[in-house]
Structure 1
Amino acid sequence: MRPHSLFHFLVTLSLSGATSAAPSPLKLRQSIASPRNWVDLGRAPPMHIIPLRIALPRPRFPELEKHLAEASDPFHERYGDHLSKEEVEEFLAPHASTIDAVQEWLNGHGIQEEACHRSPAGDWITVRVPVSQAESMLGTEFRVWKHAQDGDVLVRTTEYSLPAHLDGHVELIQPTTAFNRAKRQRTSFRFSPTLENTSLLPSDAKITVPGSGVTVDASCNKTITVSCLKQLYNAENYIPHAVNENAIGLTGYLEQFANFADLQQFYADQVPNAVNTSFDVVLINGGLNNQTLSEAGAEADLDIQFGLGISFPTPGTFYSTGGQPPFIPDADTPTDTNEPYTEWLDFILAQKHIPQTISTSYGDDEQTVPEDFARRVCQGFAVLGARGTSLMFSSGDGGVGDGNPDPATQTCFTNDGTNQTKFIPGFPASCPFVTAVGGTVHIPEVAVDFSGGGFSNFFPRPIWQDLAVTKFLKSLPKGTYAGLFNPNGRAIPDVSAQADFFRIFFQGRAVHIGGTSASSPSFAAFVALLNDARIAAGKSSLGFLNPLIYALNGNGFNDITAGNAPGCGTPGFNATAGWDPVTGWGTPDFGKLKNIALGY
C-alpha cells in the first residue's frame, strides 16, 4: 500500500480550491496484485482524461431480485409480470443521504453538479477528470499498462482509497483496478475458393437425428446454414406473427461493423425472402457504422446474418459501442474509453423500449474483473431481465481454459499473486442473470472441443441450478480435478447450439466461420421466435430464461452426450446425459419449446 502523505492532501486542496475544511482521512478500498500478462510502462500522463464511474449502493436491489425470481419462475403466479423502466429505476435509486455525501466529496474536489453525468436511476455518477486529479481523489498512482500478448493498452492502478466517511455511500469506482476487456471470442475462419464460388444446392440426401425423428440435409454436416439450423432445431414451418411488437438485438464492440452489403449477399444465398430488408444501427459511446466493405467485421457479420436470418422478419438492431484497445494515452487520444459493457448498459437501461432478446459474443476471463465490479455489471443484466429481456452470452472458446486455442500453451494460473493452477471461467457468461450458450458440432451433435464451460469463482450456484449441477458433480469420479474448480459456483453453460462451419458472407466473400460466437446469436434467434409466439398469443416475453430452462429438466432440449472440451492441459469435462458444463442442457427443440412457452 502506498502511503497517503501530506503531499497528497496538499495536491487535493490545490486542485479542488477548498480552503476551509481539512481533507477527510483516506481508507484503502481495494488493492490487487500486479495483473498477469500486463506490463507496466510507467506513470500515466497527468493530463490524460479518465471517465471515473462511481457506483452508489442500491438499497432496494434485493426487492428487485425477488421480483425477478418470481417473474421468471414458471410455477409462480407472477410469471411473466415484467417491470417498466420507471418501476425498475425506483428499485435502483440510492438513498438521498448517499447522493448528498458523494456530491459534497466531489464538490470538495472542484467537481460541481453540472459536471456530473448521472444514470436515470441516479445509481451511477460519471465524472471526467485528468489523471492528476483522479490520483488526488483516490490517493493512488495511475500507470500505463500493456498486454504482453495482445498489445492492448490501459491506464489503470492496482489500488485506490476513499475518505472513510464515504463507507456505505460508494460501492466502487472504475476504471481503476479493472483489467478486463471486451474481447471477441476466438472465432475461426476457413477461407475456401471452392466455397466462395459455389452457391447452396438442394440435396436429396438426409440425415435422421437419432431419438428425435428430425431429418436434416446431409450437406449440413459440412456447412451450417439458416436452413440447417431450422431443420435441426425443429423450426422449419414457423412463421413469425408479432413482427410489430417483437425485436432482437445484437451487440458489437471493438469497431466490429455489421455490413449491409454482406447481409444482402447472405440473404440472397440463404434467406431470399429477406432480400432488400435490413436492420437498425444504434451508435453508443462514440461507436461507428463504417460501411466500407473492407472494414466489415467477421464477428458482427456473423451475429447479424444468423441472428436476423433465423428470426426473419423480426426487426433487428445492431448496437455499435465505442471504446476499444489498443489505444495510446497521448495528446491525440486523451480519453480511455475501454468500458464497453457499462457504457452499453447505461444506454440500454435508459431506453423506454428495448428488444425482448439480445445476444453478445464477447467476454474475458472472470479473474480479470474485480469481483465487486463483476457483481455490479451482473446486476445490470438482472435489471434487463426484470424488464422482460432475455440475454444470451457466448460461453467462450477455451473449454475450461483461458481461451488460448492451443491447450498445450494455456496459462491457467490465478492472477491474484499466488499463481495457483485453476480452471478459468469466463465473464459475463458466469453472471447468473444471463443465459450462457456453449457449442456443438456435426449431426448427430457432439460437444465442440472449444465449448467454454466450468464454474464461477465469484457467483455462488443459484438455487435453480442445484438439482442439475449437484447431479453432475456426483457423477464425477471422486477427486476429479480437485482444487481446479469451485464446485459451489454458478455453472456454465446453460444451453448450446451449433458452433462451427457457419457459412457467412464477409467482405464480399463466402467463408466458413466457427466459435461460440456463432452459437449465441443462433440460440438467441430461436428465443426471439419463442417470444414472437408468446406475444402473438397475447402473453408477455419470456424475459430471464434460466429458471424456466432448469425447471424443464431437459424437456424441450436435445441432450448432447458425446464430446468434451479440454483446457489447462486436461481433457476438461465430458458431455453427459442431462446437464453438463460443456453443452448445458443441450440444443433447442423449437417445436417443443414453443408449446411449453405457450403453456405458461
Structure 2
Amino acid sequence: MWSSSVVRRVVLTLALASFSLAGSTIHVPSTSTVKESVLPPRGWAQHNRPHPDHKIELRIGLPQPNFHILEEHLYEISDPFHERYGQHLSKEEVEELVAPHPESIDSVTAWLASHGFQEADLERSPAKDWVYLTVPVSVAEKLLDTTYYVWKHVESGDEFVRTTSYSLPDHLHAHIDVIQPTTMFARFKGMKTTIHSVEDAVKEFQPPKLDSSLNADAHVPVDPTCNTTITISCLQQLYNAVGYTPSANINNSIGITGYLEQFANIQDLQSFYTEQRPDALNTSFNFVSVKGGINSQNLSEAGAEANLDVQFAFGLSFPIKSTFWSTAGRPPFKPDATEPENSNEPYNDWLDFVLAQEEIPLVISTSYGEAEQTVPKNYARRACNGFAQLGARGVSLFFSSGDGGVGDGESDPALQQCFTNDGRNVTKFMPSFPAGCPFVTAVGGTVNVPEIAVDFSGGGFSDYWSQPKYQQNAVNAYLKKLPEGLYKGLFNPGGRAFPDVAAQGLRFRIWLNGVPRSIGGTSASSPTFAGIVALLNDARLKKGQPPLGFLNPLIYSKGGDGFNDIVFGNNPGCGTPGFNATKGWDPVTGLGTPNFKKLKDLLT
C-alpha cells in the first residue's frame, strides 16, 4: 500500500519534473486568442441579449497535471488481482493528486486581479483545481472577450445564457482547461420513459410474499405478478437476494442524487413502505441540500424521478444508512433578471460539493444525463475526472444508461433525430453522458420474467473516451459477432462501451402524490442495481473487508460469473433496430443483471 507520504513524494517529483519554476515570472501579454469555439447547436435558436447585470457563476478549471497518477491508483485499488485491491485513498491524498501546479494558480489569480478581482471575490475547490467567480454578464464578456446571448431550446422552450466562443490571453491557455457556462448547451434531463396514470397501476394488490424457497438458485420462476408489476419483493426474487438481512451498524451507506426540483416525498415513502417494506415504516433518509436545494414536502410537488429512486434504492437496502441530495437549479429561468436564478449546471455543483465532504456514501445512484455531444469535451472530461476521484475514495457510482436506445429511440428512419451538432448534421448514434465516462458503472434496462432487454435501454460507444482496458476482451468478443460493415460510421467501435450491467426498468410500482403509479426507465434500473451493491458492501464490511468502490475492473473479471446473462432484445434508435442483446457483454444490457448470492460468494 502506498502511504500518504509516498503519494506526496511521487506528486512532487513529477510536478517538479514537469515544471521549472526557477526565475519564472507571471506576465500578462496583450494578445488573446480563442480558447474554445462551437457551432450553434442543432435545436437551439439565438434570441435577444441578456440583461447586462444578469449574474453568471463562472467556473474556471485549472489543469490537473498529475491526474494520470490518480488514474493509476484507481485501477490498482479496483483490480481484484492487484496487491493494492481495496486500499482506497483518503480525501487529502486524492486532492494532492488533482491539484494544479502553483504556476497555474498564480497565473490565473494574476489575470483575475488585473480585472479588479481580489482573493475575497473568489471561491476555490479544496484541491484548488476550480475557481468560482460570480459576475454580471457584462463583466464576463470583457473577461472572456466574448458576447453572450439568450439561447432557446426550440422543442422544450428552455432558455440559457450562452456564447459559442470565448478567448483568453495567450499565456493562460496552458493554465486553464475550461471555463463554463460558456459553450455548454446540455439540458441534463431525467432518464425516464414513461409514467402511467393511476388507473395503470393496480390500486389494491397483494405484494408477492418473501419466500426464500422461490428463488434458491435464481433460476426457478418468480411470482407471476412480477410480469405486470415490479416491487421490492420481485427484485429480491429476481436477483437472488431473498432472505438477506443487512445491518444498520457497520458504517455502510447509500445515496441518491436529486436535480431539477425533483423532491422525494416522505409521506409517499411511508405509503410505499407500508405496502412493500413494512419493517421500514416510520423511517426516512438523511436530506442534504446542495447550493440551496430544497426538498419540498408539499404532496403535490413530489417528483416521480426522486420518489422512484428513493423508494426502490432505500427500500432494497433498508436499514442501511441513506442520503438524498437535492441540488438547486433547473430550466427554464428568466435571462432578463439580474440575479443568477439558474447556472444550469446543477450536476457539477453536486460533484463539487460531495468531493469536499470528509464522508461520502459508499454507493451513489444518478438517473440523469444528456447526449454526450451536447457537453463540451473538455468539460465532460473534467466531470469524469471528478468521478474517478470518488472511485479512488471507495465510492461505487451508478448512472442510468439512457432511454433512447442507441440515440433517440426511433426505429423509423424518416423520424430519427440523431444528427451531429458539429455543423455537418451527419446521422450518428448518440452515446450518453455521464454513462459513457469510463470511471462510472452504467446501468441498462430489462423487462419481463424471464428477463429480456427493454427496447429503450441506452447503450453504445463513447465518442469522447477510448475503450478502457478492463472491458476490452468482453467488448471485442461482441464486436466480432457483428456482421461485417453493420452500422459502419454510425458508432465508434474503439470507444468506451456501455452499459456495464442492467436491471429491471419497467412497471415499477411507486407512490406519487398519495397514490400508486407505474413508472419505467433506466432511471429505475440504476437505483435498483445500486441497492444490490449496497447489500454486497454489507456482506464485505461484516467480514472486515473494504467496500467495493469503483466496480468495473472487478465485474469484468472476477465478478463476471455473478450475472444473469440477457440474450434477447435490442435497443432501436436513429432509424435502426440498434444493437442486439446476446451471450456475454452487449451494448444493451452489459454483462447482465445481478445474482446477489453468487456475487456475494465471489466477492466476500
Output the amino acid matched with 2:577: P
Aligned to 1:290: 296
- Aligned counterparts of 2:323 and 2:207: Cα–Cα separation in 1: 30
What secondary structure sits across from 2:84 in the alignment? coil
**What's the counterpart of residue 254 of structure 1?**
260
Contact 1:396 1:403 in 2 (8 A): no
Distance across 2 between alignment mates of 1:376 and 1:234: 38
Please point out which of 522, 538, 546 is paired with 2:552.
Answer: 546
Q: How does 1:347-386 map to 2 (within 5 A)?
A: 347-386=353-392
Task: State yes or no: 1:197 paired with 2:203.
Answer: yes
After TM superposition, the structure 1 = structure 2 runs for residues 17-32 of structure 1, keeping only pairs within 5 Å, are 24-32=30-38
Partner amino acid for 1:532?
D
Paired amino acid for 1:291? Q
- Give the secondary structure class of the aligned counterpart of 2:138: helix
Correspondent of 2:168 among 162, 170, 173: 162
Give TM-score scaled by structure 1 length: 0.93
Q: 1:474 to 1:107 in 2, by over 3 A?
A: same
- Is 1:402 aligned to residue 408 of structure 2? yes
Q: Which residue of 1 aligns with 2:592?
A: 586
Q: Say if 1:253 and 1:194 are closer, same or farther in 2 by CA, change over 3 A.
A: closer
Residue 409 of structure 1 deviates from its aligned partner by: 2.9
Aligned to 1:10: none
1:263-278 maps to which residues of 2 (within 5 A)?
263-278=269-284
Post-superposition offset of 1:182: 1.8
* Aligned pairs (5 A) from 1:90-101: 90-101=96-107
Tell me which residue corresponds to 1:434. 440
Aligned-pair distance for 1:205?
Answer: 12
> Which residue identity does 1:221 align to in structure 2?
N
The residue number in structure 1 matching 2:224 is 218
Offset, 1:212: 4.3
- Deviation at residue 410 of structure 1 after TM alignment: 3.0
Taking the aligned partners of 2:258 and 2:583, their CA distance within structure 1 comes to 35
- Look up the match of 2:60: 54
Distance 2:111 2:209 in 1: 70
The question of 1:281 aligning with 2:281 is answered: no
Matches within 5 A, 1:137-148: 137-148=143-154
CA distance in 2, matches of 1:448, 1:22: 56
The one-letter amino acid of 2:278's match is: P
Q: Conserved in 2, the CA contact under 8 Å of 1:408 and 1:568? A: no
Distance 1:487 1:250 in 2: 32
Separation of aligned partners in 1, 2:211 and 2:534: 30
> Secondary structure of the equivalent of 1:261?
helix
Shift of 1:501: 0.5
Q: CA deviation at 1:236?
A: 0.5
What letter is aligned with 2:167?
S
Q: CA deviation at 1:91?
A: 0.8
CA distance in 2, matches of 1:530, 1:201: 25
2:314–2:322 contact (8 Å) kept in structure 1: yes
Which one of 506, 515, 527 corresponds to residue 509 of structure 1?
515
Conserved 8 A contact 1:241-1:533:
no
Q: Tell whether 2:328 aligns with 1:322.
A: yes
Question: Equivalent residue for 2:317?
Answer: 311
C-alpha contact 2:151 2:159 (8 A) present in aligned 1: yes
Q: 1:177 aligns with which of 178, 183, 206?
A: 183
Give the CA deviation at 1:208: 8.1
**Equivalent AA in structure 2 for residue 139 of structure 1:** D
Aligned to 1:519: 525
- Residue in 1 aligned with 2:73? 67
Aligned-partner SS, 2:423: coil
> 2:450 maps to which residue?
444
In structure 2, relative to structure 1, the CA distance for the partners of 1:204 and 1:529 (3 Å cut) is closer
Task: String of CA shifts for 1:498-547, please: whole Å, max 9, x gaps.
Answer: 00000000010101100000000000000111111111111111000000
Q: What's the secondary structure of 2:556's corresponding residue? A: helix
Q: Is 1:117 the equivalent of 2:123?
A: yes
2:454–2:505: 8 Å Cα contact kept in structure 1?
A: yes
For residue 566 of structure 1, what is the aligned residue in structure 2?
572
Cα distance, 1:372 vs structure 2: 0.7
8 Å CA contact retained: 2:51, 2:337: no
| Structure-2 change in CA distance of 1:295 and 1:332 (3 Å) | farther
1:458 aligns with 2:464: yes
- The residue that corresponds to 1:14 in the other structure is none
| Paired residue type of 2:85 | Y
CA contact (8 A) 2:51 2:338 kept: no
Aligned in 2, Cα 1:63/1:204: closer, same or farther, shift over 3 Å? closer
Q: Deviations over 1:478-503 (max 9, x none)?
A: 00000000000000100000000000
Q: Name the amino acid aligned to 1:545.
A: L
Are residues 1:491 and 2:497 paired?
yes
Q: Structure 1: how far apart are the matches of 2:231 and 2:210?
A: 16
Q: 1:500 to 1:22 in 2, by over 3 A?
A: closer
Q: Deviations over 1:283-336 (max 9, x none)?
A: 111211100000000000000000000000011100000110011112365443
Give RMSD over aligned pairs.
2.0
Q: In structure 2, what is the equivalent of residue 7 of structure 1?
A: none
SS at match of 1:215: coil
- The answer for the alignment partner of 2:396 in structure 1 is 390
In the alignment, the residues of structure 1 paired with residue 579 and residue 205 of structure 2 have an alpha-carbon distance, to the nearest angstrom, of 38
Aligned length: 578
- TM-score, length basis structure 2: 0.93
Distance across 2 between alignment mates of 1:421 and 1:196: 42
Q: Residue 524 of structure 2 aligns to which amino acid in structure 1?
A: A
> Aligned equivalents of 2:215 and 2:417: distance in 1?
38
Deviations 1:186-212 (CA, angstroms, capped at 9, x unpaired): 331122437353132547999988994
Structure 2 residues not aligned, in runs of 5+: 1-26
CA contact (8 A) 1:214 1:232 kept: no
Q: Distance in 1 between matches of 2:61 and 2:232?
A: 42
Indicate the residue corresponding to 1:500 in structure 2: 506
Q: Which runs of 4+ in 1 moved over 6 A?
A: 203-211, 404-407
How far 1:151 moved relative to its partner?
1.2
Question: Relative to 1, partners in 2 of residues 1:195 and 1:212: Cα closer, same or farther, differing over 3 Å?
Answer: closer
Percent identity over the alignment is 60
Q: How far, CA to CA, are the matches of 1:498 and 1:210 in structure 2?
A: 19
Going from structure 1 to structure 2, the CA distance change for 1:576 and 1:206 (only over 3 Å counts) comes to farther
* 1:11 counterpart residue number: none
How many Å separate the matches in 2 of 1:422 and 1:278?
A: 44
Q: Residues 559, 141 of structure 1: CA spacing in aligned structure 2 closer, same or farther, 3 A cutoff?
A: same
**Equivalent residue number for residue 234 of structure 2:** 228
8 Å CA contact 1:242, 1:536 repeated in 2: no
Which whole-Å deviations, capped at 9, do the CAs of 1:102-123 have from their partners, x for residues lacking one? Answer: 0000001111111000001100
Deviations 1:436-495 (A, max 9, x none): 000000000000000000000000000111101111001000000000000000001000
Instruction: Name structure 1 gaps, 5 residues minimum.
Output: 1-20
Q: Once structures 1 and 2 are overlaid, which stretch shifts more, 529-538 or 289-298?
A: 529-538
Contact 2:365/2:527 (8 A) holds in 1: yes
Rounded Cα–Cα distance in structure 1 between residues aligned with 2:222 and 2:413 = 33
Provide, for residues 138-165 of structure 1, a one-character-per-residue CA deviation record: whole Å limited to 9, x for no partner: 1111111011111111111101110001
Following the alignment from structure 2 to structure 1, what is the Cα–Cα distance between the partners of residues 449 and 212?
11
* Distance of 2:210 and 2:142 partners within structure 1: 72
1:127 aligned counterpart, secondary structure = strand
- Mapped partners of 1:211, 1:401: distance in 2: 36
Q: Deviations over 1:328-357 (max 9, x none)?
A: 112365443211121001100000000000
| Separation in structure 2 between the aligned mates of residue 505 and residue 341 of structure 1, nearest angstrom | 26
Partner Cα distance (1:204, 1:112) in 2: 62
> Match for residue 7 of structure 2?
none
Shift of 1:250: 0.1
Higher mean displacement: 214-223 or 226-235 = 214-223
1:98 and 1:462 map into 2 onto residues whose CA distance is 30
